[in-house]
Each structure stands twice: as structure tokens, then as C-alpha cells.
A and B are shown apart, each in its own frame.
Chain A
Amino acid sequence: MMLERTARMMNFKIEFNYLNIDNYPSIESHLEEMAKKGWLLRKIFMGTLFLYKKIEPTTLDFSISPYEVETFFTRKSKTDLEEFQTVSENVGWNYVDRSYDLYIYYKSENTNAVPMHTDEEEEFKLLERIAKRYLRSQYILFPLIILMSWGTIGSIFNNVRPMKDGWIQPLAVLLPFICSLSLIQIVDLRKFIKTNRENIEQGRRLTFNSTNQWIYKTNGFLFFLVFLILAVYTLYSIFILKNSRVLTMSLPIVAGVIIGLMYRLWIKPLRKGLGFKLGSFLLTLLIAGLVGAPLGMLNFKLLTSSQEIIDPNDYQVLMLNEFIDEEVDEQGNLTRDISFLIPDSHEYTAHFGSLYIRTEYSNALNESLAENLVGRYIKDAKNRLRGKYSQEIHQSFLEGVYHPDLKFSGLTEHDFNRLYNEEANSETSAVWDLINSQSITETNQLWNVDEAYYLSYEKDEVLLRDGKEVFYIEGLDFSDPDVVKQAKVQLQLNE
């Protein structure tokens, strides 16, 4: 609303609408109405964001004409398009903008101009070609979005990382909408082709879609909103948080754009057969991979070195020098993040030779989210224990002999023999319940915080929650009161 108000003051207007090959006549009428109210269309972004300029209220005729400029493998030269536009202007139509394969023209009411399309059968043939192309891309896109939604939304509810990640949360909101939009578009386009094929065969006029428009408009709005959030987050993450991970993550996108550009500039305009173009496309991918991989590594190294400008002393993290007697030149990477659920978080791993200490700090939006995060850390710890000892457990129950490494898991030889005699096996829940209960134990009295747990039997992993703050620390013997005392000082926790 604020955006719209500001825009109106600045003599332009922003509107979320929807333009596609199956509804453009209704948009023509809408644009005519807008011109009568004194708003002339200037630009359309992604078929949904309409930008108008203030004019004197006037009666204009709009014509939106489908014109296929390019398919995946063919591209008409710029001259083709220029000639089409020049001729359209010669016969009296003024060009406004294009949105994908639709070209938008207007003329004043009194100008006599040949209509852009004079034959509905030909118009439909073109629309059918374009619609089939859109459908083909939707058939590829739809299963991919389903897979992506499944993975993203699943991780949002279960894992630690997505709670802190500023990218995944807005995406998780957007993906179900994109998914439903893709499905609706498939249904609408198929219906559009079928109905109009019958219309043409029976000499009737073309019919266009007028339902479901609000879904497209809402999606358009959401898409731009999420896109804006992601763009702001990316910039903030790179420039303010100095987060190398974001830059590394954006590398595949940059590589994708470069591959697309290379293909578009050099291969698509060639007047060669489909086989040649497909071969060239694969070759471009190969070259991009070969060139991109070393570049990516170099980029990663440069970015990692740039991280040293963040001083870990300014953060609540554990540093090696505070816990060992002699002064060492400790190395470490500190990464910071922001997200809706965890507005402030950072991770730091201090290492020197084989020694390391890791700190993960999260300041959640509220206490219940912090409690939720603690639950996820515990779940993660259980999964880690299972991953770490499943082979030894399996072997032990198979051979009936206690594996010596299991003494670090919390399962004693005595307990193993008891369970073995009770005919338990590696999948018996009692076995894992016992390991979990021995490894993940409360340790409140030492830490004096709201929640405190050891996450390993060796007591070298600790999870703490103090109000909205959650700490995960790893790498020291936290059963030692002196270590805990020093850690509390560094983590700025109450004595």
C-alpha cells in the first residue's frame, strides 16, 4: 500500500495483474479502462507487475499481439522483430512493451489502423505453438518444484540449519504457491488449447480464460515480495555479515546465467539443425563445468581469506587460547546469519593442529522458538549417535561379542550382554533408547541456565539454552568444572 501511495505521488502507478496467452483480451480492456482513468501502461515485469505512467485521461485502443520471437532452439534475428515492430507502427500502432511472447500496442480511438491480427485461425495456430512450449516447460518444472518443496518444507520443520538460514524460510513460503500455480497453469493451458481447437474447427470465435486470475495475481505479488526479501538478505549477508557461504551458494546461479548467455549469444542464432544445437548446448555445459570448477575454488579461497576481517573476540564464542596453557596461533572461520526465526546467529570453529572447539550461537525470536531449536539439536544428536555407532552395534549383535568402541557410546558391556540375552538386535529400540539416555543427559547444576544437556557420552558436546539464546559447544571436556567456568566467561553467561 505504501509503495502504491509513493508511486502515485511520483506520477506512476504499480499494479499486480496477470497477462498470459490465455487471457490477453481481458487485459486489453483493462488497459483501455486505465487509460480512461489517466494511466498509460509503460512496463510489465514477469507478466505480473504492471507499471503505469500518469497521462491526461483519454480513450485509447489496446491490442496485444502474440508473436513468437524465440523457442529454446531457434531465435529469430533482431531484424525480424524490428521489422515486425516498424510495420506495426507504420500501420498506426504504438509499441508499449512486451511480456514474454505478447507484444502490447495502443492507438488513439480515431486512428484507423489494420488490426494486429486479422485471422483467428492463424492467431490460434500461433497461440497453440506458444502454449505447447509453455506446457513442455511446465511438465519439466512441476516435478522439480514438488521435489524442491518436499525437501525444503521437510527441513524447515525438522532440521537445525534451516531455522537459521535466511534463504530457506522465504523460499518455503513461496514454493507451495509456485507449485499450485504450475498445476493451475497446466490445467488452464490444456483447457485453452482443447476448447479453442474445437472453436476453430466449428467456425466459432476464440475464447479466453477469465477464472483463476486472482490466484495468478496473488502469486505474482508473493513472488516479488519474496524475491525482494531474498535480494535484500543476499546483499545484507554479503556486505554486512561478510558471509562467504552466501557467495559460494550463489555461484551455481552465476554459472547458470553465464551458460544461458553463452548459449543465447553464440549458438541459438545459428541457422543449424536441432542435433547441432543440442550438441552445442551440451558442449557449452561441459566447457562451463571445466572452466567454472577451478574458478569456483579460487573464488572460495578468496572469500574465505576475506573472512579474517571478522574478529571472533567480539562474539560469544569459545577460543582455544583460553583453554590451553601455551599461546598458539589459532585459526578459525566465523560465519554470521539472520533469519525470521533466528534473527541473530553465528558459528565459529577455532582450530590449531588437531585441536578444535566449535561454537554455534543462536538468538531466537522468542523463547518457544529457542526451545524448539533445542529439540532439533537433540534430535540431530540422536541421529549422529546412530550414524556413529550403528556399524559397531550391528556387528556386536551379529557376533554376540561386545565391540570395544561401544564404551564411548554409553552402552556398557554389562548392558549389551543383558540385551543380547533378551534377544535384542541392532534395530531394537531399547538398544538405542539406552544409548540416547546415557549420552544425552541434563547438566543444569554446572551451568545455571534454563536448559543444559550433554549431547555425547564423552561429555564433549553441550547444548545450552538461556532464555532466547541457544549455545551448542563442542570439543572440550565439559564435565570439568574449571572448563565450564571458563566457557561461561567466554559465552558471557551468568556465574
Chain B
Amino acid sequence: MNFLTYIERRHTLNLNISIDDISDVDTIEKRKIMTKPLTQPMYYILLSLREERHGYEIMQYVEWLTDGRVTIGPGTLYSLLSRFEENKYIQMVSKKENKKIYLITGLGHEILNREIKRLENLLNDARKDGENDEFQNRI
């Protein structure tokens, strides 16, 4: 995707991302950022990293947050963390006892907020689905 198309899309999706944020991210990933919804582990990892956390803390936090409904295995977690770091969704802020501590970036925030908005829309649509009469009387 060239940058002009990217800017165009950015406006369509109303994302506040600058070119600098993703200039180092590879082209295929750029396309994915703009078009695909997040998978469940992606969503929860980004959600956890609104505060500084290391890998194991993320696993525990997600389990606590979802009352054990969602668990993230170490294989899934660490492959996602490295992909997120490569794509600048998250960044390492410090190291404690050989554990890397991450925090979400501006780009990561935008991606997460867009997903939250998408999920809200889905939920609203489901609620609206109950008001069938309105659809029948629209004309």
C-alpha cells in the first residue's frame, strides 16, 4: 500500500495515526492494520498493555479480567508480543529480572480503540435487532 492510499484509508477510518508511527512496519502488516479485526488474544494483550506489564503478568491479568473465560498460552503470547513489538503496536519500556516490560504505543491505542468501537457497534446492532417494528415502519 502506498502512503497516499494509506492516508486516504486513515481518513475513511478516522484513525489518528501518523506516517511516522508505521513507516518501519512492513507493507503486508500495514494492510492488515487497516482492514482486519483483532483476534481474541490480540485484543486482550493490547487491552492488558494499557498499563506496563511483562509476559507472565499479561497471562494472569487476562485470566483475572475474564474470570478464567479467556486464557492465553505462552506460545500464543510470545509470538504475538514479538509481532506487536515489530509492528510498533507495543514497545518495551524496561527490563526487570530479565523480563521485558511492555506498554501499548499510540498506534496500538488507535488499533485497540477502533476494535472497541467495532465491538460496541456489533453490540448496538444486536440490541437494535430487537426493535424490529422500527424497520417495518421505516417507510
Stretch of A83-91, A161-169, A399-407, A415-423 on the interface side: A83-91
Central interface residue in B54, B59, B74, by most chain A CB within 10 Å: B74
Do A79 and B75 have beta carbons less than 8 Å apart?
Answer: no
Do B77 and A87 have beta carbons less than 8 Å apart?
Answer: yes
Q: Is B79 an interface residue (CB 8 A)?
A: yes
Do A87 and B82 have beta carbons less than 8 Å apart?
Answer: no
Do A122 and B78 have beta carbons less than 8 Å apart?
Answer: no
Distance in Å: Cβ of A99 to nearest Cβ of chain B: 15
Query: Which label, helix, strand, loop or mixed, suits the secondary structure of the B interface?
Result: helix
Do B59 and A87 have beta carbons less than 8 Å apart?
Answer: yes
Do A87 and B55 have beta carbons less than 8 Å apart?
Answer: yes
Distance in Å: Cβ of B28 to nearest Cβ of chain A: 10
Mark out the residues of chain B between 34 and 89 whose CB falls within 8 Å of any chain A CB in the assembled complex.
Answer: 39-42, 54-56, 59, 71-80, 82-83, 86
Measured in the bound complex, the distance between the Cα atoms of B78 and A86 in whole Å is: 12
Do A117 and B78 have beta carbons less than 8 Å apart?
Answer: no
Do A114 and B71 have beta carbons less than 8 Å apart?
Answer: yes
Measured in the bound complex, the distance between the Cα atoms of B39 and A122 in whole Å is: 8
Nearest B-chain residue to A77, judged by Cβ: B100
Do A82 and B98 have beta carbons less than 8 Å apart?
Answer: yes
Measured in the bound complex, the distance between the Cα atoms of B40 and A126 in whole Å is: 16
Q: Is B31 an interface residue (CB 8 A)?
A: no
Partner of B79, one of A88, A114, A122, A273: A122
Q: Is B138 an interface residue (CB 8 A)?
A: no
Given A83-B55, A87-B55, A90-B56: A118 touches B100 (CB 8 Å cut-off):
no
Q: Is B95 an interface residue (CB 8 A)?
A: yes
Count of chain B residues with Cβ under 8 Å from any Cβ of A? 26
Stretch of A60-68, A259-267, A464-472 on the interface side: A60-68
Do B74 and A79 have beta carbons less than 8 Å apart?
Answer: no
Measured in the bound complex, the distance between the Cα atoms of B83 and A394 in whole Å is: 67
Distance in Å: Cβ of B63 to nearest Cβ of chain A: 8
Q: Is B9 an interface residue (CB 8 A)?
A: no
Mark out the residues of chain A between 73 and 112 whose CB falls within 8 Å of any chain B CB in the assembled complex.
Answer: 74, 76, 79-80, 82-84, 86-88, 90-91, 93, 103
Q: Is B118 an interface residue (CB 8 A)?
A: no
In the complex, chain B residues whose CB is within 8 Å of the CB of A314: none
29 contacts between A and B (CB under 8 A): A65-B74, A65-B75, A67-B75, A68-B82, A74-B86, A79-B98, A80-B100, A83-B54, A83-B78, A83-B98, A83-B100, A86-B56, A87-B59, A87-B74, A87-B77, A114-B74, A115-B71, A115-B73, A116-B74, A116-B75, A117-B75, A118-B41, A119-B41, A119-B72, A122-B42, A122-B79, A123-B75, A123-B76, A273-B24
The residues of A with any CB-CB pair to B shorter than 8 Å are 65-68, 74, 76, 79-80, 82-84, 86-88, 90-91, 93, 103, 114-119, 121-123, 125-126, 273
